[in-house]
Amino acid sequence: MEPTFVVLTDLSPSSEVALAYTSRLAKHVHAHLVLLHVYQDPCWSPKPP
């Protein structure tokens, strides 16, 4: 069974560094790599009181 790494990203420079590091690690151990970016639409966000 191959390991899987999930990289959460907000597409910032620091998350790109994390992705590069995890990508190299995943390649080294023959793992799967999942990239996850979640965007919350402001139209659906609750309004503050």
pLDDT along the chain (49 residues), means of 10: 93 93 96 92 78
Write down the pLDDT at residue 46: 78
> Strand, coil or helix: what is 29?
helix
Write down the pLDDT at residue 37: 92
> Strand, coil or helix: what is 32?
strand
Backbone φ and ψ for 40, nearest 5 degrees, come out as: -100, 115
Domain boundaries, the chain: 4-44
Write down the pLDDT at residue 42: 81
Write down the pLDDT at residue 29: 96
Write down the pLDDT at residue 35: 95
How many Å apart are CA 40 and CA 10, to the nearest integer? 11
Write down the pLDDT at residue 32: 97
